[in-house]
Amino acid sequence: LSSRLFQPEDTIIKLPHTEIGGRTFTMMAGPCSVESADHIMAMAKVAKAGGATLLRGGAYKPRTSPYSFQGMGEEGLIALRKAADANQMDVITEVMDETHVDLIAKYTDVFQIGARNMQNFSLLKAVGKTNVPVALKRGLAATVDDLLNAAEYIAANGNQQIMLLERGIRTFDNKYTRNTFDLNAVPVLQKLTHFPVIVDPSHATGEWDLVTPMARAGVATGASGMMVEIHDDPEHAFSDGPQALKPATYLKMCEQVQAIHTLM
């Protein structure tokens, strides 16, 4: 179902405020975590000012350490939904556990499946049984075929509204970057599948000053969109502060990304 041989035309995912896929370029931005109702409202305004049509923010966070902030839960989902609605944006947020699928579906327009859950097959089957579009992030050590097979689990269960996110993979050199941004994967995936491919230069680099150059490179691959983390006070962010763009940096990046996209 995922293959170009099965469906030659690009899949276009239609949301209330945006379309994802093909030659359209969709920006998705927001903080790593929803931190408070006021904070997500302020970040939504910034995201929108840069041209983002989707607001991101985790309410259930897949943290490497169990002692790190785990997310605001349903209270966070409510705040995220309100902030998006106030700015005519759609919501994308992570679902970590199959038992949360119904609850999160009440608040989100897109389910995000995190890199650490890319091969959580019971979760993939559960979101596959909904009609909510799914953004599937490439696993930390997943091959292109692993990613496509994970997408196939969702599609085979009935949900063909899927987008794939390249968010960096583990390689031998992660001293200066959190991950290695596999930009090859974008045109490779576009050749193999009709599902939209989105780039995430924030998790791919892990360092805010690398995000803009890799965002420029990401849009130049021909990706259908981008996900970026922003924060007005990265030093005090609840998660992923080092990679968050401050508002002014984000706005400048968006201008450059849009300019490159118009050349494509």
Binding site for ligand PEP (CB under 6 A): 32, 58, 62, 114-116, 137, 167, 203
Nearer of residues 1 and 140 to ligand PEP, judged by Cβ = 140
- Confirm or reject binding of residue 90 to Mn ion (CB under 5 A): no
Please report how close the Cβ of residue 178 comes to Mn ion at its closest, in angstroms: 10
Q: Which stretch, 75-83, 87-95, 153-161, 239-247, contacts Mn ion (CB under 5 A)?
A: 239-247
- Both tokens of residue 251? 């706005």
Residue 17 interface partner, choices ligand PEP, Mn ion, none, CB cut-off 5-8 Å depending on type: none
C-alpha closest to that of 112 among 18, 123, 72, 53: 123
Place of tokens 């997408």: 151
Please report how close the Cβ of residue 7 comes to ligand PEP at its closest, in angstroms: 26
Please report how close the Cβ of residue 34 comes to ligand PEP at its closest, in angstroms: 11
Please report how close the Cβ of residue 31 comes to ligand PEP at its closest, in angstroms: 9
Q: Which stretch, 115-123, 183-191, 214-222, 234-242, contacts Mn ion (CB under 5 A)?
A: 234-242
Please report how close the Cβ of residue 199 comes to ligand PEP at its closest, in angstroms: 11
- Confirm or reject binding of residue 240 to Mn ion (CB under 5 A): yes
Residue 137 interface partner, choices ligand PEP, Mn ion, none, CB cut-off 5-8 Å depending on type: ligand PEP
Place of tokens 């490179």: 217
Residue 91's CB is within 10 A of a number of other CB atoms, namely 26
Q: What are the angstrom distances between the C-alpha of 186 and each of 46, 57, 189? A: 27, 24, 5
- Those residues whose C-beta lies under 8 Å from the C-beta of residue 70, and which sit 6 or more positions away, are 60, 61, 63
C-alpha closest to that of 205 among 179, 224, 237, 242: 179
